[in-house]
Amino acid sequence: MSRLVNEITNMGMRTFARINHAELAKEVGQTLLPTELIIFGNPRGGTPLMQAGQTIGIDLPLKVLVWQDHPDKTWLSYNEPTWLVKRHQLENMDQIASRLELALAAMALKVTNNNIQSSRRARL
């Protein structure tokens, strides 16, 4: 998680929130494997998308879910920006979405030490 937050900053983006779902589960007497959500972004990337269609604001800022499964393997998942553009039927935003997607993929590869699997493309 620290590597991810550092890389978000290094890429010129800001972390807006960090939600530890496992800690919140403890508050209600439940257990959950380590699961944390980071909400981050930069208005330079998100604003043009919202100008094209404000409904994409429900999916912005960007989010990354870092979670651990039963065999203690850690995963990094996010929605692909190109999928978000399609979801919100935004016209002429493919280039911006593709650039955001490349940035997310580069960030994910870096923080996972180039050991990323298809979960990064999860559309949860």
pLDDT, tens digit (0-9, with 9 covering 90-100), for 44-54: 999 999 999 99
All structural domains of the chain with their residue ranges: 2-121
The structural architecture, per CATH, of the domain 2-121 is 2-Layer Sandwich (3.30)
Tell me what the mean pLDDT of segment 8-21 comes to.
96
pLDDT value of position 120: 43
| Model confidence, pTM | 0.86
pLDDT of 124 > 80? The answer is no
Q: Which residues contact 10 (CB under 8 A, 6 or more apart)?
A: none
Structure tokens at 64: 């990354």
Nearest C-alpha neighbor of 120 from the set 96, 104, 97: 104
The per-residue pLDDT of the chain, averaged, comes to 90
DSSP 29: T
Checking if the pLDDT of 119 tops 50, the result is no
pLDDT at 40 over 80: yes
Cβ-in-10-Å burial (0-12, 13-18, 19+) of 118 comes to exposed
